Amino acid sequence: MKKIKTAIIGAAGYTGGELLRLLVYHPACELVYVHSNSQKGKKVTEVHPDLIGDTELVFTDKVETEGIEAVFLGLPHGETKGFLENHPFSPNTVIIDLSTDFRNESNGFVYGLPEVNKAKIKTAKKIANPGCFATGIQLALAPAIAKGWVKDTIQVSGITGSTGAGKKLAETSHFSYRTGNMSVYKLFTHQHLKEIKQTFGQLNPVFKQELLFVPYRGNFSRGIWITAYFPFEGDLDDAIKVYEDFYQDAPFTHVSDQDIDMKQAVNTNKCIIHLQKENGQLVIYSAIDNLLKGASGQAVQNFNIAFGLEETTGLNLKSIAF
C-alpha cells in the first residue's frame, strides 16, 4: 500500500495524541513530522507516554509544506485561518482541520460528517472535522430531520467527559471539581449548535424548529452521551427501520435494539444509537467517544475517504466495555 506523506500540526494535546495513536500504525500513512511550538525538541513519548514503544518521533516547531500530501490541523480555535495564510500548502494537499474555524463550509472547506457528506468528502481537499457534541447530536437526529418528523422544539441533553475541555488546565477540569460532581455550561448557547443547524438545513431545507441543548460536564474522562426527544405519532418499529436504512452504508454508526451504554463506544470510532417511544415522544440515545468519533477518529475516517481507502482503515478499535 502506498504511503501518504502526512503531517500533524499542533499535536501536543489530547486530540493530537489520539491522532498519533491512530496514525503511527495506519498502513497508508507515513508521518513525516509532528509539529508543536510548546513541545519542540521533545520526544513525542515525553508528552504522550502512552506511545512509548510505538514511535521515535520528535516534536518540531518547523512547518514543512513541500511534498506533504495530507495535514491534520489541531490548532486552537481561531488560529487555523492565519496559520494557512502564513503556511500555504499545495492545492493537492488534503487539509483536515479539527478546529471550529471552517465548519460553516467557508474558504472551500467541506463539512466532514461522513454519514451525511461522504460524496463531498471523497473529492474534497479541505475538510472541516465536526465538533464532538455536534457529531453525537447530528447522528442521533439526522434520520428524523431528513424524514420531516420534527414539528416542534427538540429537547437535547448531552454529557461529556473532561477531555472534551482540552489539555489546558481549567478549574472545571480539575479532578477535585469533576469527581462526584456534575454541572451545566453554555445552556442553549453551545457553539456546536451552528454546525448542527447547518446540517439539519441541508437534510431538510424547511427545518426551522428550535433545538434546546443542555450540555453537562461529566465526572469521567472520555465519552459523550446524548439524549434527544420530540413528539412523534409514528410507530417505533418503523422509526427503527428508517434509522437502519439511513445508516446502512455507515460502517461506524450502529442502531441497537438493546439498551446501550456509553462505554460501548469509548475507545472506538463508533456512534451507537438506541430508540424508544414513551408518552408520545420518540427518544433517541447516542454514545460516542469525544476524542475519536468526536475528533481524531473521525478525522482519520475523513482521511481514508478523501484518499479512496477503505473507510475503516486503521480504525478497527475495540471498546473498553468495562
Give the pLDDT confidence of 292-317 residue by residue, as tens digits.
Answer: 999 999 999 999 999 999 999 999 99
Q: How far apart are CA 235 and CA 114, in angstroms?
A: 28
Q: What torsion do the CA atoms of 286, 209, 111, 165 make, to the nearest 10 degrees?
A: -50
In the chain, the amino acid numbered 279 is N
Helix (H) or strand (E) holding 287: strand 281-288
> What order do you get walking across the sheet with 29-35 strand by strand?
59-60, 29-35, 4-9, 70-73, 94-97, 126-128, 110-111
Residue 119 contacts by C-beta under 8 Å, 6 or more apart in sequence? Answer: none
- In Å, how far from its chain's centre is CA 31? 21
Per-residue model confidence (pLDDT) at position 312: 98
List per-block mean pLDDT (blocks of 10 residues) for the chain, which spans 322 residues.
95 96 98 96 97 97 97 94 96 97 95 98 98 98 98 97 85 89 96 97 96 97 97 98 98 98 98 98 98 98 98 96 84
Instruction: Report whether 182 contacts 219 (CB < 8 A).
Output: yes
What is Dmax (Cα atoms) for the chain? 61
Residue 136 contacts by C-beta under 8 Å, 6 or more apart in sequence? Answer: 158, 224, 225, 226, 271, 286, 287, 288, 294
Q: How far apart are CA 26 and CA 39, in angstroms?
A: 24
Q: Report the catalytic residues.
A: 132
Q: How far apart are CA 120 and CA 108, in angstroms?
A: 11
First to last CA, the chain: 35
Helix (H) or strand (E) holding 6: strand 4-9
DSSP bridge partners of 30 = 5
> What order do you get walking across the sheet with 183-184 strand by strand?
183-184, 211-217, 154-160, 224-231, 281-288, 271-278, 253-255
Tens-place pLDDT, residues 258-290:
999 999 999 999 999 999 999 999 999 999 999
The sign of the CA dihedral 173, 37, 223, 277 is positive
Per-residue cell: 50: 502512552
Helix (H) or strand (E) holding 134: helix 132-147
Helix (H) or strand (E) holding 120: helix 114-122
Per-residue cell: 100: 471550529
Residue 89 contacts by C-beta under 8 Å, 6 or more apart in sequence? Answer: 65, 68, 71, 95
Per-residue model confidence (pLDDT) at position 319: 96
CA atoms within 13 A on the CB side of 34: 30
Per-residue model confidence (pLDDT) at position 266: 98
Instruction: Report whether 219 contacts 179 (CB < 8 A).
Output: yes
3-state secondary structure of 225: strand
Per-residue model confidence (pLDDT) at position 165: 83
